Amino acid sequence: MSKSAPLVLQFARFLGAGAVSTVAHYAVLIGFVQLMSTDAILASVFGFCTGAVVNYLVNYHYTFDSSQPHTATLPRFIGVALVGVTLNTAAMSVQIKTLGLHYLVAQVLATVVVVLWNFAGNKLWTFDRR
């Protein structure tokens, strides 16, 4: 996607990439909780990491159409993802332990928060072409 591509189109592509990543995240989350009786918060971290790998590849090639070397973009992406997983884990913990929400409801709400952070961080830093 060219640098001049409208922000709305780029965000729409980001949401599409996020949908693919979210499927990977939730599949791992549910699998760990249901099949392996893993704590939901820890399972969410595993799912987040899986989704992040998918997210990086799709965003690099599709959303931001990056031509930058991975040595430049990957460390930045990891930095954004580390903040994202921290936000996700904190949101999951508060919602499950304090509010008593079901882990999938908590994950949906956490995902909404993290999507906004991830788009801003990746748009303005990871894949910035300046």
Instruction: Dump pLDDT digits (tens) for 54-73.
Output: 999 998 988 888 889 999 99
pTM, entire model: 0.85
Q: How distant, in Å, are the alpha carbons of 31, 34, 82, 86, 122 from that of 117? A: 26, 29, 11, 11, 8
C-alpha span between 97 and 29 (Å, rounded): 17
Asked if 93 contacts 41 with a C-beta cutoff of 8 angstroms, the reply is yes
C-alpha span between 106 and 121 (Å, rounded): 23
Q: How distant, in Å, are the alpha carbons of 40, 44, 124 from that of 102? A: 9, 13, 34
Q: What's the pLDDT score for residue 108? A: 97
pLDDT score of 1 more than 50: no
**How big is the chain, counted in residues?**
130
State the average pLDDT for the chain. Answer: 92
Q: Which of 32-36, 49-53, 94-98, 124-128 is least confident?
A: 124-128
Structure tokens that stand for 71 in this block: 């040595």
